Amino acid sequence: MTKNEFTEVAGTMNDGEGDDTGNRQDLPLAIANIAISPESPVPIYEQICSIVRAAIVAGDLPANTLLPTSRELAAMLGIGRTTAVNAYSRLIAEGYLISRLRRGTRVAPQQRAAQAESGERRQARRAETAAPDVEISFTARRTLESPLAVSATVQPFAVEEPDPTLCPRAELGRLLAEGFRRPPIPESGLDQGRELRNFQAAVAAHIRQARGVVCDPAQIVPTLGIESALDLVARLVVDPGHLVHVEDPGPALVRATFEGAGARLRAVGGDRDGADFSRAIAPPPRLIVVSPALSFPLGAQMSEARRRAAMEVAQSTGAVLFENDAYGQLLYRGGRLPALQSLDPGRVLYYGSLTNTLGPGIRVGYLVVPEGFVEPAFELSRRSGARPESFILSALAAFIGEGQYALYTRKIRAIYAQRLKLLVEACRAQLPEAAPVEPCGGFHLTLLLASAAREQGISAMAAAQGLSVAPLSRFYAGKPASHGLVLGFGAVPDRLIEPLVARLAAIVQRTDESAVA
């Protein structure tokens, strides 16, 4: 390198530098950990080159990473600046680094491809050398094996997926923007500010009018949806070894949550009137989980007799009752019975969902807890951190309190009811062997099939074709009482229902042909 070229490169490498103390806390880890050996026969600049090359190829210095200036590198390593400039110049000539005026010295962008290839080799080596005696916990395996994973992209017929396009973006978006700009009020004990109090007051007034829930606003605990609500309930009332009664079939998430908490589960079956908890045998449960307004996945509404039987079991055994009313705002037919919580507010933990109505972009639910549970429930919620942001609560409080939420739910009930009608008609026309079990609400439809083999074959082939059709047996805790397919229609527009059912019918036909062959 000529003297002029050296001076030009050194000047570029020195561009933008200030403090030359070489503080390693501000440097990329691979650079901060450079160790050179003055006793080595390999020149120091070449030692630096070898270490930086290896870090770039391994991906420890990703493309476009900014490196220290030559003066900073020299100060950090205790070497002459000329040595640092020589090392950088060599790496620039080899294409590992680039140096630009006012942008400093960086890893060359073209190193991305090499790093990606190196990453694949690294993963392959990890797979080959993975220690067979290192295992995750049994609880973690059970959780990961349960069918709860949600794809980043919602597939057609995915269950429990509301339509994101129905969210009232204009009205709610304005309120969210206003709440985001407003300075938050610091928390103080149970008093978490004006936003929480407004949310509690709006929700309490709404659910008393719409669902007959009996509560003071202070009893309402905001959650990040059903997952965090179930987790809070498990930590609030369940110890390892406690018995929990659950509906069968029912959401896999319910079983996974309480099993993960160390509880013993007893699955309670029923019929079109809902689960019959009066048939459950001793010992007494600590918790009863029930969905009286709308069960999942069969979509049944619990009869008045079954509702009272569940409450009598809870009262006679001293059990706590968790009422999952996630679909209480999305009922299309059946009775308008008040929430089970109204029969014994001191014994029931009531859950309501705003996600199911406002769409997946609003991950908010609420738990109504008995008065004696308020302080521990809020403290556990605070420690977990699974709470909606205050500006979101503020926006929802205004949206509900101004009456817009009630108008909106009336609108989407009509939309989802129409989609259900179209789906049932399409299934009856194109899938004559499948018997639709019309739900009382929600956004899923169950089709009963003759055998487990039919269920597994169709659902597997549908998944391979991009249709998220869930086998009914997935939602049973034990041996399935029936077999079929569960279709979610929440995120399926009216115009796509018939074509998608036609695709499913073609899959059913191919499954029949494969069975014959």
| Model pLDDT for residues 441-458, shown as the tens digit of each residue | 999 999 999 899 999 999
Domain span(s) for CATH 3.40.640.10 in the chain = 167-407
Query: From CA 291, how far away is CA 439, in angstroms rounded?
Result: 13
Report the relative pairing of strands 365-368 and 264-268 from DSSP bridges: unpaired
Q: What is the token pair recorded at 77?
A: 């390593």
Extract the tokens encoding 48: 């630096």
What's the pLDDT at 20?
Answer: 44
**Cβ-based neighbour number of residue 407 at 10 Å:** 11
Is the model more confident about 385 or about 444?
Answer: 444
Dihedral over Cα of 372, 378, 384, 389: its sign: positive
| Sheet hosting strand 470-471, strand order edge to edge | 435-437, 444-449, 483-488, 470-471
Q: What is the dihedral of CA 254, 263, 346, 212, to 10 degrees?
A: 10
Apex CA 367: angle with CA 362 and CA 371, to 5°? 150
Confidence label for 122 from pLDDT (cuts 50, 70 and 90) = low
Cβ proximity of 358 and 167 under 8 Å? yes
The answer for residues whose C-beta is within 8 angstroms of residue 47's C-beta and 6 or more apart is 36, 37, 40
pLDDT at 16 over 50: no
The domain defined by 167-407 folds into Aspartate Aminotransferase; domain 2 (3.40.640)
User: Do strands 104-107 and 97-100 pair parallel, antiparallel, or not at all (unpaired)?
Assistant: antiparallel
CB distance 191 to 504 below 8 Å: no
pLDDT in tens, 82-102: 999 999 999 998 889 998 877
Q: Which residue has the higher pLDDT, 513 or 509?
A: 509
Dihedral angle, C-alpha 172, 175, 177, 181, nearest 10 °:
-160
**By the 8 A CB rule, do 301 and 275 touch?**
no
**What stretch(es) of the chain map to CATH 1.10.10.10?**
3-112
User: Which of the 8 DSSP states describes residue 340?
Assistant: G
Structure-token pair, residue 472: 């009914």
pLDDT of 427 over the 80 cut:
yes
Residue 447 belongs to what H/E stretch?
Answer: strand 444-449
Residue 296 CA: distances (Å) to CA of 99, 195, 249: 61, 33, 7
State whether residue 454 is helix, strand or coil: helix
- Residue 270 exposure: Cα atoms within 13 Å on the Cβ side: 32
Check if CATH label 3.90.1150.10 holds for domain 409-516: yes
- pTM reported for the whole predicted model: 0.73
Q: Dump pLDDT digits (tens) for 188-233.
A: 444 458 889 999 999 999 999 889 999 999 999 999 999 999 999 9
How does pLDDT run across 124-165, given as a tens digit for each residue?
A: 555 554 445 556 666 666 656 554 443 445 688 988 889 888
CATH 3.90.1150.10 residue ranges in the chain?
409-516
147 — alpha (psi -120 to 50), left (phi > 0) or beta? Answer: beta
Alpha-carbon gap, residue 271 to 274, rounded angstroms: 5
* Residue 379 near residue 411 (C-beta atoms within 8 A): no
Q: Which fold has domain 3-112?
A: Arc Repressor Mutant, subunit A (1.10.10)
- SS3 state at 95: coil
Least confident of 141-155, 263-277, 301-315, 424-438: 141-155
C-alpha 468/C-alpha 444 separation (Å) is 12
Q: How far, in Å, CA of 211 to CA of 292, rounded? A: 12
The pLDDT assigned to 240 comes to 94
The answer to whether the beta carbons of residues 63 and 108 sit under 8 Å apart is yes
Q: Is the pLDDT of residue 22 over 50?
A: no
Would you say 347 and 321 are in contact if contact means Cβ atoms under 8 Å apart?
yes
